[in-house]
Chain A
Amino acid sequence: MNARLRFTSLRIALTVPVLLLMSVFVFMMIHLVPGDPVRTMLGFRATPANVRQVTSSLGLDKPLPQQYLDWLGSALHGDLGQDYISHESLTHLLAQSLPVTLELTLVSMTLAVLVGIPLGVQAATGRRWVRRLTEGFVVAGISIPDFWLGIMLVLLFTGTLGLLPPSGYVPFTQDPALNLRYMLLPVVTLAVAETAYILRTTRGAMEEVLDRPFITYLQAKGVRRFTLMFRHALRNASVPIATVIGIQFGVLLGGAIVVETLFALPGVGRLVVTAINQRNYPVVQAGVLAIAALFLLVNLITDLVIGLLDPRVADGAGQ
């Protein structure tokens, strides 16, 4: 167990520098804008007086390293600055929008895993028509643009069937049932592509594992087929599957940006997009940082889970 603890703490420790690096990149965003970012932000209101005022209020006249340290310092204290248009606290904005994005992405991923993995196992071991069907689904799922699928779903369920609302959001804590009604289409939209990827990876990994000698040995022991597939084969196949889930979460976050815009969900993704169109750089920075941090966190958890699944990884004794 000691080795595992070491592996875990090492992995966590490695995340910190990446997070810092990312914060630098995000911080630099506003400074990479061609021309004067304040002028761009203010647009037609860019009188010299206004420019000077906003520049100093944003602390943009101080030397770069100091700006970064100031920014980092207050960020660690929970103060990420202000939305310069509405002067709302960015921390507050994020606190409101992150849960929405989290709900969207986590539920989608969970759905995709619950559907994709068993189907993937079936695709590796089932009859011919099952394989053909899943293959078709995989190809369609990967090729169809998710936001178009979302729109088609809206067309079907809202337009034609009138079953589900096309947009809007209600927090889960406020009204669970209504929240689920609003989230159903967005979640399904995102989950389809994810399911396709997970299915494909599961199928490939299972096929590879089922070719290995220890499977024959398990059969020789008279182990039940279900045990063989889901306890042994799947566990051995789980490393590539978990890896893909980690990577796909990033894709999912990207997709969430679009889906939130599509369904008017007040999440971080839509926040960022709106802010970009408004040239509201502080919000863009905070939003990008939040999404990137979320992605890093998920990857960390994925890596730790992989360490749990395969004892060889934690021990460092690769084979």
Chain B
Amino acid sequence: MATQGGHGTARRQMTGLRGLERRTKVGACILAVLVLVALFAPVIAPHNPEAISGNLVLGAPDAAHPFGSDALGRDVLSRVMFAFRVSLAVAAGSVVLALIIGTAIGLTAGYFGGWVDTLLMRPIEMLLALPALLLAVSLIAIVGPGSLVATLAIAIIYLPIIARVVRGSALVVSAQPYVEAARARGSSHPATMLRHVLPNAAPPALVQASVLMGFALQIEAALSFLGLGAQPPTSSLGLMLSDGRDVLSQAPWVEVFPGLAIAVTVLAFNLFGDGLRGRLDPGRATR
């Protein structure tokens, strides 16, 4: 007999808890591999990324050069590995910086509340009013291009997000009785913040940070692509993408693989972060 449909057909069941965990695990695995590649690139890269070779110019991928070779005969795989180091370093550096500064601001704002909160968070929120890349581009316009500037610029873009998340948790945690109790026991403000509020307010920020890593990587690539990030001779993935356009029709692999590297890395971060966030607080839209 036909089971009564109705309410059931309005929405199918979602993948259960197992699906979420799987996502995080897969992401974590890929990330582990990527991080190892980045860390040990000098050791595991098959060739010297700067080694120019006349007869290997624009060689198609083969056993010796799995990613092919570029206009100067350089091995693309090795170049990708080293460029990946740079891109990852910028992304990681910016997120860590955003995490540190954003947490400090958010923690203080959430802990003290009142006018301190307003004073700190208003300018932070104004930063959020501008589109991310535009802000980065503006900052670099002022200071001049380079990896370091890019790191700083990206950190500035993302610290408001971290600050907001931390502030939210800090507000809630600071209102808890055990925090009051700590103060009553004579714990100073900084000590209370660090020992009691921070450990409880931090986790959502860390989850957010893992997702932001992916975005930071993309922005770094975009900035380098525009010539505003890593400057030659340092090579980042974005820069490789810009260079690869010149030989696109003759040797597409020079363009394909750096982009693929970015895509896979961002994918891994997204999987990892999404899965974590699902655990922590389901139903929140990302940036």
Residues of chain A touching chain B, judged by Cβ–Cβ distance below 8 Å, are 18, 21-22, 26, 29, 32-34, 124-128, 131, 139-140, 142-145, 147-149, 151-152, 154-155, 159, 200-201, 204, 207-208, 210-211, 215-216, 219, 225, 228, 240, 243-244, 247, 250-251, 253-255, 257-258, 261-262, 272-273, 275-277, 281, 284, 288, 291-292, 295-296
Interface positions of B from 58 to 117, Cβ below 8 Å from A: none
Q: Per a CB cutoff under 8 Å, which of A139, A200, A215 touches B10?
A: A215
Q: Per a CB cutoff under 8 Å, which of A147, A159, A276 touches B248?
A: A159
Q: Per a CB cutoff under 8 Å, which of A144, A155, A254 touches B131?
A: A254
Q: A236 CA to B143 CA in the complex, in Å?
A: 46
Q: A295 CA to B264 CA in the complex, in Å?
A: 30
What's the least CB distance linking B215 to chain A, in Å? 9
What's the least CB distance linking A234 to chain B, in Å? 13
Interface positions of B from 212 to 254, Cβ below 8 Å from A: 214, 218, 221-222, 225-228, 241, 244-245, 248-249, 252
Let me know if B138 and A29 touch, CB within 8 A.
yes
Say whether B263 faces chain A, with CB atoms less than 8 Å apart: yes
Q: Per a CB cutoff under 8 Å, which of B11, B132, B221, B287 touches A145?
A: B221
Q: Per a CB cutoff under 8 Å, which of A159, A215, A247, A250 touches B249?
A: A159
Let me know if B285 and A147 touch, CB within 8 A.
no
- Enumerate 21 A-B pairs (CB-CB under 8 Å) in ascending A order: A33-B142, A125-B9, A125-B10, A128-B12, A145-B263, A147-B221, A148-B262, A151-B241, A151-B248, A204-B285, A207-B11, A210-B10, A216-B10, A251-B287, A253-B131, A257-B134, A277-B227, A284-B138, A284-B141, A292-B130, A295-B134
Q: A86 CA to B259 CA in the complex, in Å?
A: 36
Q: Which of B9, B131, B244, B270 has the most CB of A within 10 A?
A: B131
On chain B, the residues within 8 Å of A228 by CB distance are 10
Let me know if B10 and A219 touch, CB within 8 A.
yes
Q: A142 CA to B271 CA in the complex, in Å?
A: 11
* A143-B270, A159-B252 known; A257+B226 contact, CB < 8 A: yes
Interface positions of B from 131 to 175, Cβ below 8 Å from A: 131-134, 137-138, 140-143, 145
Per-residue CB proximity of B184-201 to A under 8 Å, as 1/0? 000000000000000000
Q: A244 CA to B284 CA in the complex, in Å?
A: 11
Q: A21 CA to B218 CA in the complex, in Å?
A: 28
Let me know if B132 and A250 touch, CB within 8 A.
yes
Q: Per a CB cutoff under 8 Å, which of A29, A155, A244 touches B255?
A: A155
Q: Per a CB cutoff under 8 Å, which of A211, A219, A273 touches B137?
A: A273
Say whether B7 faces chain A, with CB atoms less than 8 Å apart: yes
Per-residue CB proximity of B248-287 to A under 8 Å, as 1/0? 1100100110110011101100110000000000010101
What's the least CB distance linking B10 to chain A, in Å? 5
Say whether B43 faces chain A, with CB atoms less than 8 Å apart: no
On chain A, the residues within 8 Å of B258 by CB distance are 148
Say whether B6 faces chain A, with CB atoms less than 8 Å apart: yes
Let me know if A250 and B10 touch, CB within 8 A.
no
Known contacts A210-B11, A291-B131; 17 additional CB pairs below 8 A are A26-B138, A33-B142, A142-B266, A144-B259, A152-B255, A152-B259, A159-B248, A200-B285, A211-B11, A216-B7, A250-B131, A251-B132, A253-B131, A254-B132, A261-B225, A291-B134, A292-B134
Q: Per a CB cutoff under 8 Å, which of A29, A244, A258 touches B222?
A: A258
On chain A, the residues within 8 Å of B143 by CB distance are 33-34
On chain A, the residues within 8 Å of B12 by CB distance are 125-128, 131
Q: A284 CA to B140 CA in the complex, in Å?
A: 11
Let me know if B133 and A143 touch, CB within 8 A.
no
On chain A, the residues within 8 Å of B222 by CB distance are 145, 147, 254-255, 258
A228 nearest CB neighbor, chain B only: B10
5 closest Cβ contacts across the A-B interface?
A: A254-B133, A148-B259, A250-B131, A143-B267, A143-B266
